[in-house]
């Protein structure tokens, strides 16, 4: 299958330089991200980070398509990946139908599937029909219960390495490694020829991804793998305090703000 230029570029970055990846759910944020990211993911984390849902499993395909349409309006150079939500790729037929709908409506470049350790054929069938796929292993919230770091012992390590190799063989162009022990992440990265994108999986990965709301301090969710680069909540709090004061003291609007 002929790879699109954007997918080729991502694959080619392995061992050249680290890949920079973030999630986005809207046009204004994506506009800034597009300047710095190799990959922008419309993640199912929109469920918890944006809608305040209890689990990513609650988000609907159509809701995510609307977010992807918004994000796409700003994306020029980054590779836009759509995260297939829970129960939208349970078999080949369902996966193809939904992925084609996603492509037609949002014009993304690829989709991401979480691995349940069994769905390699579904991934393969999408790739065969021309849809680029990113894999996702380790802590996969759609299939796992309570949060737990993964790949902590030799048995788990071997299982994850095999899973990554099967995903590569099925045709994925990259794999997210979520909350995987650093030694295991390193061994997986060395075992596959496609880029590994880590979240909570150490600098041994070929690239890094974070949920943008965590990075900018808007989500209130700061596990140890997140680096909060700015506390936007605090900055906005200050701004809104000033706005409230100005309105109450009739300092806003001024004549210059008036017709």
Residues 22-41 that bind ligand KIV (CB under 6 A): 23, 41
Distance CA 231, CA 222 (A): 11
Cα–Cα distances in angstroms (integers) from residue 125 to residues 93, 121, 250, in the given order: 9, 6, 63
> Interface mask (CB under 6 A) for ligand KIV, residues 148-177, using x and -?
----------------------------x-
The residues carrying an active-site annotation are 178
Minimum Å distance from CB 80 to ligand KIV? Answer: 14
Residue 142 in contact with ligand KIV, rule: CB under 6 A: no
Radius of gyration of the chain (CA): 20
Residues 238-257 that bind ligand KIV (CB under 6 A): none
Distance CA 78, CA 30 (A): 10
Residue nearest ligand KIV, CB atom distance: 43
Q: How many CB atoms lie within 10 A of CB 207?
A: 24
Longest dimension (CA), the chain: 70
Residue 83 in contact with ligand KIV, rule: CB under 6 A: yes
Minimum Å distance from CB 251 to ligand KIV? Answer: 41
Minimum Å distance from CB 45 to ligand KIV? Answer: 3
Residues 180-239 that bind ligand KIV (CB under 6 A): 199, 209, 211
Structure tokens at 240: 């809104």
Q: How many CB atoms lie within 10 A of CB 141?
A: 18
Residue 44 in contact with ligand KIV, rule: CB under 6 A: yes
Peptide bond into 253 cis (omega under 30): yes
Closest CA to 99 of 70, 128, 75: 128
Contacting residue, 25, 30, 39, 43, with ligand KIV by CB under 6 A: 43
Element (H, E) at 50: none
Q: Which stretch binds ligand KIV (CB under 6 A): 42-50, 95-103, 120-128, 222-230?
A: 42-50
Query: Quick one: 86 or 120, whose CB is closer to ligand KIV?
Result: 86
**Contact residues for ligand KIV (CB under 6 A)?**
23, 41, 43-45, 83, 176, 178, 199, 209, 211
């Amino acid at each position: 299958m002929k790879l699109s230029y954007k997918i080729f570029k991502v694959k080619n970055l392995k061992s050249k330089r680290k890949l920079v990846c973030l999630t986005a759910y809207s046009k204004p944020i994506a506009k800034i991200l597009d300047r710095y990211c190799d990959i922008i993911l419309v993640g199912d984390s929109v469920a918890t980070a944006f809608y305040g849902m209890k689990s990513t499993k609650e988000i609907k395909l159509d809701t995510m398509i609307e977010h992807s349409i918004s994000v796409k309006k700003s994306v020029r150079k980054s590779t836009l990946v759509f995260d297939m939500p829970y129960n939208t790729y349970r078999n080949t037929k369902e996966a193809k139908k939904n992925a084609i709908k996603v492509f037609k409506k949002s014009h993304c470049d690829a989709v991401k599937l979480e691995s349940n350790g069994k769905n390699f054929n579904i991934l393969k069938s999408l790739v065969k029909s021309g849809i680029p796929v990113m894999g996702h292993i380790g802590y996969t919230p759609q299939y796992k219960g309570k949060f737990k770091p993964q790949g902590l012992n030799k048995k788990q390590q071997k299982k994850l390495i095999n899973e990554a190799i099967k995903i590569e063989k099925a045709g994925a162009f990259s794999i997210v490694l979520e909350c995987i022990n650093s030694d295991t992440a390193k061994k997986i990265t060395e075992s596959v020829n496609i880029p590994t994108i880590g979240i909570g999986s150490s600098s041994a990965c070929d690239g890094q991804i974070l949920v943008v709301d965590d990075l900018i301090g808007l989500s209130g969710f700061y596990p140890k793998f997140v680096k909060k680069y700015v506390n936007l909540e605090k900055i906005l709090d200050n701004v809104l305090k000033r706005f409230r004061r100005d309105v109450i003291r009739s300092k806003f609007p001024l004549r210059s703000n008036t017709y």
